[in-house]
A and B are shown apart, each in its own frame.
Chain A
Amino acid sequence: MRSSSRVWRIVSFLSFVTTLLLLCGFIYAVKDITYPSASSGMELVPSTDQKDQPAVSPGQTGIVVIGDSLAKGTGDDEGLGFAMRTVQLLQEKDKNQEVRLFGNLGINGLTTDSLSEELKEKGVQYMLKEANVILLSIGGNDLFNGGQALENGDDLPTAKELNASIDAASVKLKSVAKQIVAINPDATLVYIGLYNPFSDLQEMRSIGNTAAARWNMLALETFNPYRNALVVPTYDLFAGNVSKYLSGDHFHPNGEGYQQIAERIVQSLN
């Protein structure tokens, strides 16, 4: 029975040591979870993989999209949105250039206010810094509340209410523009203008048109001072084509609508 003696010695030794270790680990874990304290733990060494060279190498276009559901691409059955469609079009246009979508930071229902908060996030700032083209879509939720009035059958906004929202939101748009340019002054900033999603509704046609036009005017004024910023109009695209370019929710563009916006963006770049 020599071999069984050896087995016993090895197994008993190993299991004794491991049991003891695991028991210590268990006690330590219970202590750390029950009484967590910020002062315990290790010092953080600043990470060493900070890049010296910019993320975008020559011959590369890095696009970051930020803003509301339009930026995200809500309503596009193919899930591309104007973001991916712009990338595709740019790539087709210039085969030598490598066009990449670095990220899509579009969040459904984002208003100018919440975008301003988002822009304070370190991760968002990091992403914007890496891009050389920033596509921005914001304001639609401030004005039309994401088309929810229409969906819920609530009262549609009156001209007076719309004007009030425009006044408030345009001030915030100014600070958003300032924030983005401060984060990345070198990137081309493209603002996607608003369209009137209600242009086929009798009672909203003219009110909505006036609101969208006024907003776009103010947006133009907002981005005018910045050398690398431009405003891409979409107002005229949708004016007579609501049924063709809007998706089922009657607020967001459909795939075809996003394609049209993307073409506008590509035309305006370079």
Chain B
Amino acid sequence: MNSIIPLIKNETVKMVRKKRFYVILLVLLVLVPMFTYAQMKISQRNQEKFGSDWRRSVQQAITDNQNSLGSARIPEEWKKFRQVYIQQMKYYLDHDVNPQQPGAVTFTREFMDNASSLFIPLLIMGIGSDIVSSERTAGTVKMLLTKPVRRWKVLLSKLITLIMFVSLTVVSTFVICYGISGLVFGYQGFDMPVFAGFQLQGSNVDLSAVHALPQWLYLFMQMGLIWFVGVVVALLAFMISVLVRSTAASIVIMMAALIAGSILTNMASAWTSAKYLFMVNLELTHYLSGTPAPIEGMTLGFSLAVLAIWGIASLVVSFTVFTKQDILN
């Protein structure tokens, strides 16, 4: 154990020196103001239409969704989403709780919800994809391995560093999002109630276990789920980075997988075995908000199991390959 801490320290310093993490912060600092501005425009337009009266705007949203249910042109799966949405919105109205009370915390919650399946995994890929392959590209891997340390320890130190930075990425996303959107929407909203515990049975929502949570607790849980997704994505990126020599190739592979996932989620309901793919299971936060899963039979437990198996498998592959592999060139 003694010999691993200096290794982690070494990796951490390398990570900071290579400015990978700064790139992530920079991406966030550029993109978040754009999303904030877009959200501001949307709320201004709603303000024009409905005044400051959120109840009217929620009821209108319910009616609009009810109308689309009658249309034969709309696929059944979409109808399910809308039926669930209608029931949830009615619940908010019945309890006189504004589902979208303006504020930086609400904005951050919605941003994180949308970012969990593609945006944050992409950021994590940015730090994970080249963590091993860059040593190869630069030839420094020989230096690392000639030290009197076991190979698996070298790899483990890289892995631990990666997970440390996954946590930092998730939290930085929150901090930057809250900080920037607060300038526009105000920094309030931590204690606003949010409903959780909607249990879906097909297109019906079981409301018996619904309970209100303060928004800070909701965010806390949401970030925990996103973190788990982030760790699994990091493990996969890590494996690809061990297997593929070129950094560019490893980034492309991970990116293709993630984007394929977001496309599949939109159209996979007919192909049910797609639910065993990791990229369809990245939207863990949807189980918290009560949004229907893309494929029948997916539950939180199922998604966690699928992600865990993919994560563990990639760990096994990474370590076996790295310890056995010949380092050439």
Q: Does A107 contact B (CB under 8 A)?
A: yes
B70 CB within 8 Å of chain A: yes
Residues of chain A lying within 8 A (CB to CB) of residue B114: none
Of the candidate stretches B33-41, B61-69, B132-140, the one touching chain A is B61-69
On whether the beta carbons of B63 and A107 are closer than 8 Å, the reply is yes
A14 and B56 form a contact (CB under 8 A): no
A102 within 8 Å of B (CB atoms): yes
Q: How many chain-A residues does the 8 Å CB contact rule pick out?
A: 51
The secondary structure that dominates the A interface is: helix
Decide: B287 and A33 in contact? CB cutoff 8 A: yes
Whether, in the assembled complex, A59 has its beta carbon less than 8 Å from a beta carbon of chain B, the answer is no
What's the interface size class on B, roughly? 35 or more
Q: Bound complex: CA of A123 vs CA of B96, how far in Å?
A: 9
Q: Shortest Cβ distance from A55 into chain B, in angstroms?
A: 7
Q: In the complex, are the beta carbons of A38 and B56 less than 8 A apart?
A: no
The one of B62, B67, B222 in contact with A108, judged by C-beta atoms closer than 8 angstroms, is B67
Contact A32–B70 (Cβ < 8 Å): no
* Main SS class of interface, B: helix
Q: A14-B168, A25-B223, A44-B95 are in contact. Are A37 and B60 (CB under 8 A)?
A: no
Contacting pair A38 B197 (CB below 8 A): yes
- The residues of B that contact A37 with a CB separation of less than 8 Å are 197, 209, 211
Interface residues of B in 83-104 (CB under 8 A from A): 89-90, 93-98
Instruction: Count contacts between A and B, CB distance < 8 Å.
Output: 159
Q: Contact: B93 with A44, CB < 8 Å?
A: no
B60 near A104 with CB under 8 A, answer yes
Task: Verify A127–B56 contact, CB threshold 8 A.
Answer: yes
A156 within 8 Å of B (CB atoms): no
Does the CB pair A38–B210 fall under 8 Å? yes
Q: Is the CB of B90 within 8 A of A123?
A: yes
- Residue B321 lies at the interface, judged by CB distance under 8 Å to chain A: no
Residues of A within 8 A of B265 (CB): none
Complex formed: what's the CA distance from A11 to B67 in Å?
53
Q: Chain B residues near A39 (CB, 8 Å)?
A: 211
Among all A-B residue pairs, the 7 with the closest Cβ atoms = A25-B224, A41-B211, A26-B224, A36-B197, A29-B221, A15-B164, A123-B59
Known: A22-B227, A33-B300, A124-B59. 13 other contacts (CB 8 A): A8-B13, A18-B168, A19-B167, A25-B225, A29-B222, A30-B304, A36-B196, A42-B212, A105-B59, A106-B67, A123-B55, A123-B58, A123-B59
